[in-house]
Amino acid sequence: MERTLQVLDGKWATLVVRELLNGPKRFGEVRAGLGNPSAKTLTDRLRALEHQGILTRTVHAEVPPRVVYALTEQGRSLSGILHAMLVWGEANPEPGA
């Protein structure tokens, strides 16, 4: 459990993985899917997940450069955990909601 919490450290890391489960995306697409967090926050999360082997960052030599983020096999293996979180969240709505 500690390793999972280390990878899914905080709200943004979990939501980034969720966004990329639908396939590779560019920075702006990931950011828009998350509700536009600050660029620094998202960049920090993406770098941390890349360092942990959860996603890859591919730079395409174009003008302007195109950067695409995609989950690795290890990153895709988190889908079951995120699905379990979804099921739990739907079964246990916030009090007063």
Q: What is the mean pLDDT of the chain?
A: 93
In a domain, 96, yes or no: no
CA dist 46 to 89, 90, 91, Å?
25, 27, 30
Does any domain span residue 97?
Answer: no
Query: Which of 65, 63, 71, 62 shows the shortest CA–CA distance to 25?
Result: 71
* The model's pTM: 0.89
Q: How far is residue 14's CA from residue 21's CA, in Å, rounded to a whole number?
A: 11
State the total domains in the chain: 1
Is the CA virtual torsion 94, 10, 35, 55 positive or negative? Answer: negative
Quote the pLDDT of residue 86. Answer: 93
Contacts of 51 (CB under 8 A, 6+ apart): none
Is residue 43 a part of any domain in this protein? yes
- Structural domain containing residue 21: 2-89
Q: Is residue 56 part of a domain?
A: yes
**What pLDDT, in 10s, does the model give residues 17-44?**
999 999 999 999 999 999 989 999 999 9
Query: Is residue 74 in some structural domain?
Result: yes
CATH number at residue 64: 1.10.10.10
The predicted pLDDT at position 40 comes to: 95
pLDDT, tens only, 40-51: 999 999 999 999
